[in-house]
Amino acid sequence: MEKKRYERPTLRKMNTGLMNKFGTKTENEPLTHIESVAVKGLLKEYGSPLFVLSERQIRRNIRNASRIFNTRYPKVQFAWSYKTNYMDAVCRTFHQEGSWAEVVSGFEYDKALNNGVPGHQIIFNGPDKTDEQLVLAARNNSLIHIDHYDELYSLIRLSNEHKLNPKVAIRVNMDTGIYPKWDRFGFNFENGQAWNALTRIVSSERLELVGLHCHIGTFMLSPNAYATAARNLCELAWSVKERYGKMVHYLDLGGGFPSTNTLKGAYLPGTDTVPSLDQFADAITDVILGYGFRPEELPLLILETGRALIDDAGYLLGTVLATKRLSDGRRATILDFGINSLFTSFWYEHKVSPAQPLGQQTEETVLYGPLCMNIDVVRESIVMPLLEKGNQVVVHQVGAYNMTQWMQFITLRPAIVLIDEENKTHLIRKAETTEYINSQELLPTHLN
Ligand SMILES: *Cc1c(COP(=O)(O)O)cnc(C)c1O
């Protein structure tokens, strides 16, 4: 039998407010393997810290979401939200599963083309599209979602100049009962702006109105908000049909479904409180099916789900650099990754597991990153076994918005590995090197 490790006893100060009626949650179950690949081996081979993605989980998520919507509605199309995670290996997995691409910049648009997505399966969203990008998107028959009047007028001018007939939709913002409202994007529903924009599109000779779009927020916890959004889009579609005699091809309800991460300050873990995808699907499809369209004119339902399809497929692996006592007696653990890699630690209480079995004893600790900055906190308070220098940890549910919002601040960004369906590992993004960062810099001759 292995010799038990000695753990010195500690006196534990009880902070008022820390306990609630559910008691403190202890996260001491070790996670030694991801998809049966040893965490220890991954860190040894690819270095620490390290992002790991499970291809199996990504495919499971998109198949599950497709099933949920397709069993409720006859015509459904998912479009992968590039900004959520635009690693090519991730995007191509979604495209293999039948997803179109949803992009919000020229950079992302080019990425989608490079990933082999046909132009007509790229949805071009966002307030920032240059004239060149608009012309390219129009020539490729991409779906251009107009965000503001300046873009609408530019597109009309460019279409006349270049004799183009772009396929367009407008992004609609509205009051769905969720505040703050995201009314900085698109045309407002309640004040008539959206209808005004639609009228201009239909009466322009060249633009072809093909759809209506909204994206009401992110990490939305209210299925009812989607029912309101769907109803408003149906109302606009119905008005277009009545007034102009044509039915739009699609309604795009955007993204925004939550993952099961726990928001900061939440009383209960996300796994217990977040509505299921079925509830969102019921809310949306009940409204569209019940609105009164004839079966043959039912619009295609497009979903731009990001976060909910990738968060639980991603892990961040790392190593304990040091432990210390803060002046108030609290335990502190310093990890080799911080907010530079884990941007979402600003709003999530990420679940963190030790990557090896440790003792039974636990203590509340602060998890800090390695940056020389006071804001670099991974978890303000977590009850964990007594981690020591060299121990390894795994952060759960980090697949969304970390591998795109991470920042090269103070240190270099880590590598990303994909575990495929046969549990083989593939490096899909190399760790950054000093050389790579320096390659973008130039020195004026007088400083050389
Ligand atoms: C970010 C974004 C999405 C994806 O949102 P999630 O909350 O990750 O599902 C979809 N559509 C648009 C327009 C977006 O900006």
Rounded to 10 degrees, what is the CA torsion of 377, 381, 387, 389?
Answer: 20
Q: Are residues 247 and 322 in the same domain?
A: no
Local structure of residue 439 (DSSP, 8 states) = T
Q: Per-residue pLDDT for 11 more than 90?
A: no
Tell whether ligand 1 has an atom less than 6 A from the beta carbon of residue 379: no
Whether 399 lines ligand 1, by a CB cut-off of 6 Å, is no
| Contact residues for 327 (Cβ-Cβ < 8 A; gap 6+) | none
Max Cα–Cα distance, the chain, nearest Å: 82
Mean local confidence (pLDDT), 374-397 = 96
Q: What is the rounded average pLDDT of the residues 400-423?
A: 97
Residue 283 pLDDT exceeds 90: yes
Cα 306 to ligand 1 centre (Å):
6
Q: Could you tell me if residue 444 is inside a domain? A: no
Instruction: Tell me what pLDDT residue 48 has.
Output: 98
In a domain, 404, yes or no: yes
- Residue 186 CB less than 6 A away from ligand 1: no
Residue 183 in any domain: the answer is yes
Closest atom of ligand 1 to 401 CA is 8
The pLDDT confidence band at residue 13, using thresholds 50, 70 and 90, is: low
Quick check: CB of 171 below 6 Å from ligand 1? no
Assess whether the C-beta atom of 173 lies below 6 angstroms from ligand 1. no
Q: How far is the CA of 190 from the centre of ligand 1 (A)?
A: 22
- Report yes or no on 133 lying in a domain: yes
pLDDT of residue 14: 56
- Counting ligand 1 atoms within 8 A of each CB, the residue from 91, 104, 170, 215 with the most, and so the one to mutate, is 215
| Ligand 1 pocket member 306 (CB < 6 A) | yes
State whether 298 and 160 are in the same domain: yes
User: Is 4 a member of any domain?
Assistant: no
Note whether 385 and 239 are same-domain residues. no
Shared domain for 101 and 234, answered yes or no, is: yes
Question: Is the CB of 102 inside a 6 Å radius of any atom of ligand 1?
Answer: yes
We report the CATH number of the domain holding residue 137 as 3.20.20.10
258 lines ligand 1 (CB under 6 A): no
**The domain boundary residue, chosen from 251, 280, 309:** 309
- Is residue 59 in a domain? yes
* Pocket of ligand 1 contains residue 249 by CB under 6 Å: no
Closest listed residue to residue 380, CA positions, set 352, 355, 399? 352
CATH number of the domain enclosing 318? 2.40.37.10
Is 116 in the same domain as 41? no
Residue 104 Cβ inside 6 Å of ligand 1? The answer reads: yes
Q: Which residues partner with 171 through β-bridges?
A: 213
**Do residues 132 and 124 lie in contact, with contact meaning Cβ atoms separated by under 8 Å?**
no
Which residue segment(s) compose the domain that 353 sits in? 23-53+312-438
> Counting atoms of ligand 1 from 1, which one is nearest the CA of 308?
9
Residue at 421 is within a domain: yes
Ligand 1 atom nearest 83 alpha carbon = 1
Ligand 1 atom, smallest distance to 145 CA: 13
Question: Of how many residues is the chain composed?
Answer: 448
Does residue 45 sit in the same domain as residue 62?
no
Q: 227 and 216, same structural domain? A: yes
Q: Are residues 104 and 84 in the same domain?
A: yes
State the pLDDT confidence band at 17, using cuts at 50, 70 and 90. Answer: very low
The total domain count for the chain is: 2
With a 6 Å cutoff on the Cβ, whether 193 touches ligand 1 is no
Indicate if 287 and 397 belong to the same structural domain. Answer: no
- Would the CB of 256 count as within 6 Å of ligand 1? yes
Asked whether residue 410 falls in the same domain as residue 339, the answer is: yes
Q: Are residues 304 and 422 in the same domain?
A: no
| CB neighbour list of residue 362: distance below 8 Å, 6 or more residues apart | 26, 28, 383, 384, 385, 386
For residue 6, what is the DSSP state?
Answer: P
- Tell me the C-alpha distance between 401 and 448, whole Å: 38
Of 309, 343, 376, at which residue does a domain stop?
309
- From 309, 338, 354, give the residue that closes a domain: 309
Q: Is the residue at 10 inside a domain?
A: no
pLDDT, one tens digit per residue, over 121-154 is 999 999 999 999 999 999 999 999 999 999 999 9
Asked if residue 59 and residue 27 are part of one domain, the reply reads: no
Confidence of residue 244 (pLDDT cuts 50, 70, 90): very high
Please write the tens of the pLDDT for every residue from 81-98: 999 999 999 999 999 999
Taking the C-alpha atoms of residue 412 and residue 340, their distance in angstroms, rounded to an integer, is: 9
Kindly give the number of the ligand 1 atom that is closest to the alpha carbon of 257. 9
Q: Is the CB of 305 under 6 A from ligand 1?
A: yes
